[in-house]
């Protein structure tokens, strides 16, 4: 009876997780409610030893635990008050939610349901963007009809843009995977519409950079032949065409240069106008963050300390309203509060999935690297793990990608514990690989100690081991 209740609780947690994937692109309140319900159901499901075994060898587990461990450690030496430290403790608890979600996504069926839920939410968002050109939608953030203006539907244009960038990759991914011409045309059309919604119907410069970076990474990873360079040339030409054809994109890109020049020239009349622009405020925050990291490079100033440091540096209320929340760079944010150790842990949070991508099939590898490109761009110019909607997006998408099962063709074969195959001696150049070799020809005399058969060579190895082995590996 108790086991049945645990199973029901586990299924409920998985259903809530599917709901989260639908809700985080459209409703922050609904996402938070579902996260609370998922946590309760996950705790009621129990079997924590089994849950831990499902994630203990996952590449993302170590950096996620390291980062939240630094957040907890930072409370011991932070100048912030107890209530001020609650906010980062709550926001960075998403690193634990990554691991929790992975335990719920061990089954491919549930992973596909999450992908579909996210896809439906983005389809609704995309349809709303284009409907917003002619109709004033009551649920839309913006209410300015027409072509060539910002049509943010939910939350803000940065969050919508980076999520739509991944949706573009998904559409391209499904287009290339489809076997029927009708489905290819449908997915291709959706990819074009989603791409134009970013370049022509949004003002998010972060989204522009995330889109082009992710498309470049996806293309380079997906195309493995010499056509890669042709793709890069065509992609560059397409990017140039999009920039020149979109007045919104051209203006927003040009404003980066103008605002940066204004900041570099400084104020001549004592005003802080040069630091209230989007680019100027970022440059001011980054300059402050780098200077403070140089002062306390190892462990930083502690959890919640950035706000105190920024308030001392920026006395103007207009500047502080922008610059005293977070430095719009997640790497520098961790550097200020947790030192270079925090920066290293966050870099590891990217490096581990990057390495994990090599164990996936080529299409899934390209999709994961494209997502990491979006994540990296947002971490460089915004608060990827601090801003609520973006942290939900990167948290649960990271879990969905890292819960994948590696492609058997991309990883060494591990023999079953019940099998007793005959193994060849390990290949000198592949000692760290695991592979069951073909049946070897029995040696004329016993194996020498240094050539005892071991499970340590990759499939397809064509290197002769030694004169004691009469044939080639594989």
Q: Is the pLDDT of residue 443 over 70?
A: no
Assign 223 a pLDDT band (cuts: 50, 70, 90).
Answer: confident
Q: Is the pLDDT of residue 250 over 90?
A: no
Q: Mean pLDDT, to the nearest integer, of 251-256?
A: 79
Lowest mean pLDDT across 15-29, 71-85, 240-254, 280-294: 240-254
How far apart are the C-alpha atoms of 264 and 113, rounded to whole Å?
A: 49
CA distances 279 to 199, 263, 288, 375, Å, are: 19, 8, 14, 20
- In contact, 59 and 157? CB cutoff 8 Å: no
Q: What local confidence, expressed as pLDDT, does residue 238 receive?
A: 73
Assign 217 a pLDDT band (cuts: 50, 70, 90).
Answer: very high
Q: Mean pLDDT, to the nearest integer, of 137-144?
A: 90
- In contact, 122 and 164? CB cutoff 8 Å: yes
Assign 445 a pLDDT band (cuts: 50, 70, 90).
Answer: low
Q: Is the pLDDT of residue 228 over 90?
A: no
How far apart are the C-alpha atoms of 414 and 259, rounded to whole Å?
A: 56
Q: Mean pLDDT, to the nearest integer, of 23-34?
A: 95
Q: Which residue has the higher pLDDT, 249 or 442?
A: 249
Q: Is the pLDDT of residue 186 over 60?
A: yes
Lowest mean pLDDT across 60-64, 313-317, 438-442: 438-442
Contacts of 152 (CB under 8 A, 6+ apart): 140, 141, 142, 160, 202
Q: Give this prediction's pTM.
A: 0.83
Q: Is the pLDDT of residue 459 over 90?
A: no
How far apart are the C-alpha atoms of 344 and 67, rounded to whole Å?
A: 10
Lowest mean pLDDT across 28-37, 47-56, 251-260, 392-401: 251-260
Burial class (CB in 10 A: 0-12, 13-18, 19+), 179: exposed
User: Is the Cα dihedral 40, 45, 49, 51 positive or negative?
Assistant: negative
Which contiguous run of DSSP H or E holds residue 252?
helix 247-265
Which contiguous run of DSSP H or E holds residue 334?
helix 330-357
How far apart are the C-alpha atoms of 47 and 243, rounded to whole Å?
A: 53
Average pLDDT, the chain: 84
Burial 390-427 (b: 16+ CB within 10 A, else e): bbbbbbbbbbbbbbbeeeeeebbeeeeeeeeeebbbbb
How far apart are the C-alpha atoms of 355 and 299, rounded to whole Å?
A: 27
Find, among 317, 315, 323, 342, the residue nearest to 331 by Cα: 342
Cα atoms in the 13 Å half-sphere on the side-chain side of 184: 6
Q: Is the pLDDT of residue 256 over 90?
A: no
How far apart are the C-alpha atoms of 227 and 354, rounded to whole Å?
A: 23
Q: Mean pLDDT, to the nearest integer, of 380-397?
A: 95
Q: Is the pLDDT of residue 448 over 70?
A: no
Q: Mean pLDDT, to the nearest integer, of 19-39?
A: 95
Assign 59 a pLDDT band (cuts: 50, 70, 90).
Answer: very high
Burial class (CB in 10 A: 0-12, 13-18, 19+), 123: middle
Q: Is the pLDDT of residue 424 over 60?
A: no
Lowest mean pLDDT across 38-42, 306-310, 338-342, 424-428: 424-428
Assign 272 a pLDDT band (cuts: 50, 70, 90).
Answer: low
Q: What local confidence, expressed as pLDDT, does residue 84 receive?
A: 87
The DSSP symbol for 141 reads S
For 7, the token pair is 């199973």
The DSSP symbol for 449 reads G
The DSSP symbol for 450 reads G
- In contact, 423 and 453? CB cutoff 8 Å: yes
Q: Is the pLDDT of residue 421 over 70?
A: no
Q: Mean pLDDT, to the nearest integer, of 338-351?
A: 97
Q: How many helices (H) and strands (E) does the chain have?
A: 18, 0
- In contact, 133 and 37? CB cutoff 8 Å: no
Q: What local confidence, expressed as pLDDT, does residue 60 receive?
A: 96
Q: Is the pLDDT of residue 467 over 60?
A: no
- In contact, 451 and 465? CB cutoff 8 Å: yes
Q: Is the pLDDT of residue 399 over 80?
A: yes
Contacts of 116 (CB under 8 A, 6+ apart): none
| 228: helix, strand or coil | helix
Q: Is the pLDDT of residue 94 over 80?
A: yes
Block residue for tokens 């440091």: 309
Contacts of 416 (CB under 8 A, 6+ apart): none
Q: Is the pLDDT of residue 461 over 70?
A: no
Burial class (CB in 10 A: 0-12, 13-18, 19+), 325: middle
Q: Mean pLDDT, to the nearest integer, of 234-244?
A: 73
CA distances 357 to 31, 59, 179, Å, are: 28, 11, 24
Task: Give the CA angle between residues 156, 157, 163 to the nearest 5°.
Answer: 100
Q: Is the pLDDT of residue 305 over 90?
A: yes
Burial class (CB in 10 A: 0-12, 13-18, 19+), 351: middle
Q: What local confidence, expressed as pLDDT, does residue 321 receive?
A: 84
Q: Is the pLDDT of residue 429 over 60?
A: no
Task: Give the CA angle between residues 96, 102, 106 to the nearest 5°.
Answer: 160
Lowest mean pLDDT across 117-121, 157-161, 276-280: 276-280
Task: Report the share of the chain in percent with pLDDT over 90.
Answer: 58
Burial class (CB in 10 A: 0-12, 13-18, 19+), 168: buried
Q: Which residue has the higher pLDDT, 224 or 191?
A: 191
Assign 456 a pLDDT band (cuts: 50, 70, 90).
Answer: very low
């Amino acid at each position: 009876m108790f086991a049945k209740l645990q199973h029901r609780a586990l299924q409920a947690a998985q259903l809530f997780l599917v709901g989260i994937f639908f809700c985080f692109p459209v409703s922050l309140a609904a996402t938070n409610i579902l996260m609370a319900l998922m946590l309760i159901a996950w705790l009621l499901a129990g079997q924590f030893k089994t849950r831990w075994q499902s994630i203990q060898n996952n590449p993302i587990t170590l950096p996620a635990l390291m980062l939240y461990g630094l957040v907890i450690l930072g409370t011991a030496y932070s100048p912030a008050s107890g209530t001020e430290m609650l906010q980062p403790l709550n926001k960075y608890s998403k690193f634990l939610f990554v691991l929790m979600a992975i335990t719920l996504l061990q089954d491919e069926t549930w992973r596909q349901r999450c992908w579909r839920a996210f896809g439906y939410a983005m389809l609704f968002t995309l349809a709303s963007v284009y409907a917003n050109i002619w109709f004033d939608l009551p649920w839309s953030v913006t209410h300015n009809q027409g072509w060539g203006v910002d049509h943010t539907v939910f939350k803000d244009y940065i969050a919508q843009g980076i999520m739509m960038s991944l949706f573009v990759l998904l559409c391209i991914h499904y287009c290339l995977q489809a076997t029927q011409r009708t489905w290819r045309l449908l997915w291709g059309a959706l990819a074009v519409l989603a791409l134009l919604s970013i370049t022509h119907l949004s003002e998010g410069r972060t989204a522009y950079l995330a889109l082009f970076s992710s498309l470049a990474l996806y293309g380079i990873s997906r195309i493995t032949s010499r056509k890669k360079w042709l793709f890069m040339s065509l992609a560059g030409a397409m990017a140039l065409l999009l920039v020149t054809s979109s007045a919104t994109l051209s203006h927003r890109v040009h404003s980066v240069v103008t605002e940066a020049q204004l900041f570099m020239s400084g104020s001549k009349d004592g005003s802080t106008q040069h630091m209230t622009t989007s680019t100027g405020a970022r440059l001011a925050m980054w300059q402050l963050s780098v200077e403070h990291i140089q002062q306390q490079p190892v462990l930083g100033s502690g959890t919640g300390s950035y706000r105190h440091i920024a308030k001392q540096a920026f006395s103007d209320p207009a500047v502080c309203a922008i610059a005293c929340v977070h430095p719009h760079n997640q790497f520098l944010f961790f550097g200020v509060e947790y030192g270079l150790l925090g920066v290293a842990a966050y870099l590891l949070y990217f490096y581990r999935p990057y390495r994990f991508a090599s164990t996936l099939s080529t299409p899934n590898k390209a999709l994961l690297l494209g997502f990491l490109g979006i994540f990296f761009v947002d971490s460089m110019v915004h608060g990827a793990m601090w801003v609520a909607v973006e942290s939900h997006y990167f948290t649960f998408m990271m879990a969905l990608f890292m819960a994948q099962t590696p492609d058997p063709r991309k990883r060494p074969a591990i023999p079953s514990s019940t099998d007793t195959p005959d193994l060849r001696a390990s290949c000198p150049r592949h000692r760290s690989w695991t592979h069951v070799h073909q049946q070897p020809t029995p040696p004329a005399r016993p194996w020498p100690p240094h050539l005892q058969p071991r499970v340590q060579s990759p499939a397809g190895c064509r290197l002769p081991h030694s004169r004691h082995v009469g044939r080639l590996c594989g």
